[in-house]
Amino acid sequence: MAGKFLVIWRLELGRATPGVVRAVLQQQDYGARLMAAGKLEVRYHLVGGHGGAWIYSVDSNEELDNLLAQAPVYNMASYQVLALAEMLAPVLTGQAQPE
């Protein structure tokens, strides 16, 4: 079951160490690799914060879980995962679905 997910991740600043700085730098490379593989559609920085909002395009919930677990900041961030659905125009009774 393919799907798109908005993942908002925020660094937990209480864990700020030199290792966290390295992980954040590696996170950007990780995102670029996911984009090249077609698993990440867009990625945004959260203005005024420490984290990002990324839209993943994956084949399953398990694949998303695996990709998140491989992220360099996985153990240093909190995550909010939201499943996304296309917003198609409503179809009125008796009308054909737009193509």
Higher pLDDT, 22 or 15: 22
The DSSP bridge partners found for residue 4 are 57, 84
Tokens of residue 45, six digits: 């920085």
pLDDT tens per residue, range 21-69: 788 789 999 999 999 999 999 999 999 888 899 999 999 999 999 999 9
Q: How far apart are CA 22 and CA 24, in angstroms?
A: 5
For residues 65 and 26, is the Cβ–Cβ distance under 8 A? no
Are 16 and 90 a contacting pair, CB within 8 Å? no
Structural domains of the chain, ranges and CATH numbers in brackets: 3-84 (3.30.70.1060)
Over residues 60-94, the pLDDT tens digits come to 999 999 999 999 989 888 999 999 998 887 777 76
